[in-house]
């Protein structure tokens, strides 16, 4: 077996055999296949695709590259959620403690920012003292004591994916549906959760720009989960407009705490509850009421305990960026467009995201939104506040926002897309 033959097979639109897939994943994990060679194969997969059997074998090989976790000793049923990434997508933060408050165990292995989308771990690391890196024993301890944990995947879990994930981010192959599906599902299946709910984003701020591609990705992942004995369901959700009123790290933590306190933006609350109900149903807890857990404070109690169990101070002051710049409405009328991609790139350029996996992020950087599509605005009214510690970034961020904000004449009708577009099971 040699890597050149494997690359040529997929380059020439051929089908990779089980033996080729097993060999190339194992050899890449061991360092016997170079990054530039795997980059060529990833690009060939992006351009020419894989059939379901190829994707299933690729996923199985990624799982086999490392260890598998076992939560059978827990007294609660396990349920997990994964989002394909969006702008202002802080849903994991209120969702994990909310579902735990309703009786499930939530072993949430999360990641850092990819491109213009913020990472859950980056957000939580804006809380003083909070730790993303836990041993397996520490993770199990938090799950037993609190019912929810949000942490980084250990090095032993699908190590092939860890290498390939970083490579895709810098080689323009993030959007390859077979690689997205196998990356997500190899980690989730190896993680050992009993049920899984997928939040597959659709729109300008998502990796999947159109509904057909998003539905294909969702069906592929649901199939992979089902084939491996994990009860899996997917929701296609809108990401043409940012979720909530913030995009950034500490900014999104503040908003998540507002949701847990019974407030927060309506779209964040709606999606949090929709995903919570799916997770609880998949875990066999159909009678649990997540809306009640938000109202009675039990979700907030689980949040505070979860943060403290991972070394964080739930009462600590969160970072505030040193510099702000306000973007105002250029005319009076109806805000009909606030492009998620434009906002995401602007927040990234302000320091909320990273261009390379080694780059640091600014805890306080990001964007506050003072109006959402459908709102009536007046000329000169603040629409956005940009936050950063490095003011030389403002011009670069403002360039990203050009054309991303649309104000139509007063009286213009606006109909928002539903947040949940489709359910795939």
Mean pLDDT of 91-110: 96
Which position among 183, 195, 240, 256 bears the catalytic label?
A: 183
Query: Do residues 148 and 302 make contact, with C-beta atoms less than 8 angstroms apart?
Result: yes
Residues 243 and 345 both lie in one domain: no
In-domain check, residue 318: no
Which position among 80, 161, 238, 267 bears the catalytic label?
A: 161
Strand order in the sheet with 333-338: 376-377, 333-338, 405-408
Query: How far apart, in Å, are the Cα atoms of 70 and each of 56, 137, 139, 159, 224?
Result: 21, 11, 12, 17, 19
Query: Do residues 120 and 150 make contact, with C-beta atoms less than 8 angstroms apart?
Result: yes
pLDDT surpassing 70 at residue 105: yes
Residues 114 and 239 both lie in one domain: yes
Mean pLDDT of 139-156: 93
In-domain check, residue 353: yes
Mean pLDDT of 210-236: 95
Strands 405-408 and 106-110: unpaired
Percentage of the chain surpassing pLDDT 70? 99
- The pLDDT tens digits for 300-332 are 999 999 999 999 999 999 999 999 999 999 999
Q: How would residue 345 be classed by pLDDT, with cut points 50, 70 and 90?
A: very high
Residues 85 and 233 both lie in one domain: yes
Residues 209 and 275 both lie in one domain: yes
Mean pLDDT of 271-289: 97
319 assigned to active site: no
pLDDT surpassing 80 at residue 72: yes
187 assigned to active site: yes
168 assigned to active site: yes
* pLDDT score, position 207: 84
Residue 11's domain is classified under what CATH number?
1.20.970.10
Alpha carbon distance 274, 192 (integer Å): 23
Mean pLDDT of 388-409: 97
Mention every residue, 6+ apart, whose C-beta is less than 8 A from residue 12.
Answer: none
Residues 129 and 43 both lie in one domain: no
DSSP three-state, residue 406: strand
183 assigned to active site: yes
Query: 203: which 2 tokens?
Result: 């729109």
Residues 341 and 247 both lie in one domain: no
Mean pLDDT of 177-190: 93
Residues 395 and 252 both lie in one domain: no
Residues 262 and 354 both lie in one domain: no
Which position among 168, 188, 231, 393 bears the catalytic label?
A: 168
In-domain check, residue 381: yes
Mean pLDDT of 90-98: 98
* pLDDT score, position 115: 65
* pLDDT score, position 117: 73
**Other beta carbons less than 10 A from residue 388's beta carbon:** 25
Mean pLDDT of 94-100: 98
Residues 93 and 147 both lie in one domain: yes
pLDDT surpassing 70 at residue 287: yes
Mean pLDDT of 45-62: 96
Q: How would residue 155 be classed by pLDDT, with cut points 50, 70 and 90?
A: confident
Residue 371's domain is classified under what CATH number?
3.90.1170.30
In-domain check, residue 164: no
> Mean of the per-residue pLDDT values for the chain?
95
In-domain check, residue 166: no
- Total domains in the fold of the chain: 3
Residues 253 and 379 both lie in one domain: no
How much is the pTM?
A: 0.92
In-domain check, residue 388: yes
pLDDT surpassing 90 at residue 241: yes
* pLDDT score, position 170: 80
DSSP per residue, 297-356: SHHHHHHHHHHHHTT--TTSPPP--SEEEEEE-SSSEEEEEE-HHHHHHHHIIIIIS-SS
Look at residues 49, 48, 41 and name the one whose alpha carbon lies nearest to residue 20: 41
Percentage of the chain surpassing pLDDT 90? 88
The answer to whether the Cα torsion of 253, 222, 182, 188 is positive or negative is positive
Q: How would residue 376 be classed by pLDDT, with cut points 50, 70 and 90?
A: very high
* pLDDT score, position 202: 96
Which position among 10, 90, 116, 187 bears the catalytic label?
A: 187
> 92-101 vs 250-260: helix axis angle to the nearest 10?
30
Where b means 16+ CB within 10 Å and e means fewer, 185-223 reads bbbbbbbbbbbbbbbbbbbbbbbbbeeebbbbbbbbbbb
Which position among 10, 57, 81, 82 bears the catalytic label?
A: 82
In-domain check, residue 182: no
In-domain check, residue 301: yes
Query: 241: which 2 tokens?
Result: 């407009």
* pLDDT score, position 185: 95
Query: How far apart, in Å, are the Cα atoms of 150 and each of 95, 207, 326?
Result: 11, 23, 33
Mean pLDDT of 163-183: 88
Residue 207's domain is classified under what CATH number?
3.40.1030.10
Residues 230 and 252 both lie in one domain: yes
Residues 139 and 262 both lie in one domain: yes
The domain in which residue 217 lies consists of 80-154+189-309
Q: Where is mean pLDDT largest: 19-23, 164-168, 354-358?
A: 19-23
* pLDDT score, position 114: 63
């Amino acid at each position: 077996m040699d890597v050149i033959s494997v690359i040529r097979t997929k380059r020439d639109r051929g089908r990779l055999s089980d033996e080729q897939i097993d060999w190339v994943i194992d050899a890449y994990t061991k360092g016997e296949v170079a990054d530039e060679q795997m980059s060529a194969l990833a690009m060939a997969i992006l351009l020419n695709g894989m059939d379901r059997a190829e994707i299933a074998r690729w996923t199985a090989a990624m799982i086999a590259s490392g260890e598998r976790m076992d939560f059978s000793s827990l007294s609660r049923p396990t349920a997990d959620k994964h989002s394909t990434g969006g702008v202002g997508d802080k849903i994991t933060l209120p969702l994990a403690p909310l579902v735990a408050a309703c009786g499930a165990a939530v072993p949430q292995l999360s990641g850092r920012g990819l491109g213009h989308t913020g990472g859950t771990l980056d957000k939580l690391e804006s809380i003083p003292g909070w730790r993303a890196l836990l041993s397996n024993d520490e993770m199990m301890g938090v799950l037993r004591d609190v019912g929810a944990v949000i942490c980084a995947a250990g090095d032993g879990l699908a190590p092939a994916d860890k290498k390939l994930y970083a490579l895709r981010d810098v080689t323009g192959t993030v959007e390859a549906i077979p690689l997205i599906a196998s990356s997500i599902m190899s980690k989730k299946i190896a993680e050992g959760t009993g049920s899984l709910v997928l939040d597959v984003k659709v729109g300008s701020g998502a990796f999947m720009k159109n509904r057909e591609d998003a539905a294909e990705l969702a069906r592929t992942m649901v199939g992979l989960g089902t084939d491996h004995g994990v009860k899996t369901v997917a929701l296609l959700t809108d990401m043409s407009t940012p979720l909530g009123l913030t995009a950034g790290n500490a900014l999104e933590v503040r908003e998540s705490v507002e949701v847990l306190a019974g407030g927060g933006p309506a779209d964040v609350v709606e999606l949090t509850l929709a995903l919570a109900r799916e997770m609880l149903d998949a875990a066999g807890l159909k009678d649990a009421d997540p809306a009640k857990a938000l109202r009675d404070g039990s979700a907030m109690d689980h949040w505070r305990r979860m943060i403290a169990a991972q070394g964080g101070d739930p009462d600590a002051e969160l970072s505030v960026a040193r510099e702000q710049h306000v973007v105002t409405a250029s005319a009076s009328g109806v805000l009909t467009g606030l492009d998620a991609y434009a906002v995401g790139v602007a927040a990234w350029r302000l320091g909320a995201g990273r261009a390379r996996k080694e780059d640091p992020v600014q805890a306080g950087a990001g964007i506050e939104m003072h109006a959402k599509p459908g709102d009536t605005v007046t000329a000169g009214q603040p629409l956005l506040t940009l936050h950063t510690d490095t003011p030389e970034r403002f011009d670069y961020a403002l360039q990203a926002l050009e054309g991303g904000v649309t104000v139509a004449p007063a009286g213009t009708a606006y109909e928002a897309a539903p947040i949940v577009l489709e359910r795939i099971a």
